[in-house]
Structure 1
């Protein structure tokens, strides 16, 4: 299954690949060079299909848990001052996505969307300390009765040039369902209450909609 954000790109890629195959077969007579080009085109198509895949996730819905919003590796667990919405200290947990990871963003908790805002910005590498404040990004806050308010921030990386955010103020968020998409490498930050019981460690690999990041 492929994400809807990739449907147009996949169709265009298929057309270009087919046209390229025909051109290579027609204009190039050197067999070894022809096979190398065919292989390169096949690898390119494979990477595009991998990037836009949207595998089904077995989300165990639980109001006491915060699930990872994305696939990737945990790169930050630290206490910080969150100055856009909470304006107080929160626990930041960041997940970095490589271009090969699934790039669907999923709601980490059930609840109601209280805040959703897009910020244009730079395209620093996603692990840069200033990326969360200076890069293109979106900030979403969801609240449920059990856990309280959770903020998650989609951050564009050096390759990502477009963030898609479906969350709108007043929406009912369902844990594990699609809330957005980031194209080509990026990061997502979670901001949780300081007394959160963290269930992951640095460098852990997590799956969006399945891995438990923290619990009440």
Structure 2
């Protein structure tokens, strides 16, 4: 069962409710004191905007299609070597400050393991980001192939939130929240990639590619 303390269909993600209430209270105080109320109103509206939670519909209905897990820009598509000696295709999406922070399942999946690396909240454009940032490595199992999500927190992220669910996350379902940073998908090498470098993608809407058929009877 889903943990109802997390975001589902609320207009403003629950992860931002405390920040929004605080920003609104500061605005009311500034208004009462006639101290730059317009500035604090802008901050309040900006907070609501930063934690907005729009509905999304996938571009296609193919069970093997991989949806973007996060809003942002494709900054890397490459083959990498993993610690266990195998290779994987990596697609990295970097979120801008103005993109939606809700993370979504790229395909129907079950979370098998989560590995946390505690680190710093630094700019994702820094050359130290890869080695020092806070990170979650999420190993997932889908019907067609294992995949991994590596979530890295940027400068404006307070934390990386991963929702808990006892059953399968459906493709496009809300999976977590990341205010700023990157998400890397580690996929089988035979994944058919649809996107290119510098493409802008939307979580739960844009198709990144397709997991390949493993045998000719599976059609």
Same fold (TM over 0.5): yes
Give the aligned length: 200
Check the 8 A contact 1:136/1:155 in 2, yes or no: yes
SS of structure 2 residue aligned to 1:173: coil
Query: Aligned Cα RMSD in Å?
Result: 1.9
Unaligned runs of 5+ in 1: 26-36
Q: Offset of 1:41 from its aligned partner? A: 2.1
Q: Offset of 1:39 from its aligned partner? A: 3.0
Question: Is 2:62 the partner of 1:66?
Answer: no
SS of structure 1 residue aligned to 2:74: strand
If you compute each CA radius of gyration, which structure gives the higher value, 1 or 2?
1
Check the 8 A contact 2:23/2:40 in 1, yes or no: no
Choose the corresponding residue for 1:165, options 154, 162, 168: 162
| Distance in 1, Cα, partners of 2:164 & 2:74 | 23
Unaligned runs of 5+ in 2: 1-10, 212-219
TM-score, L = length of structure 1 = 0.85
Higher strand share: 1
Deviations 1:50-93 (A, max 9, x none): 1000001113553211110011111111111233xx65211111
Choose the corresponding residue for 1:177, options 173, 180, 183: 173
Higher helix share: 1
**1:22 — aligned with what?**
32
Q: Alpha carbons of 1:79 and 1:181: their partners in 2 closer, same or farther (altered >3 Å)?
A: same
SS of structure 2 residue aligned to 1:195: coil
SS of structure 1 residue aligned to 2:79: strand
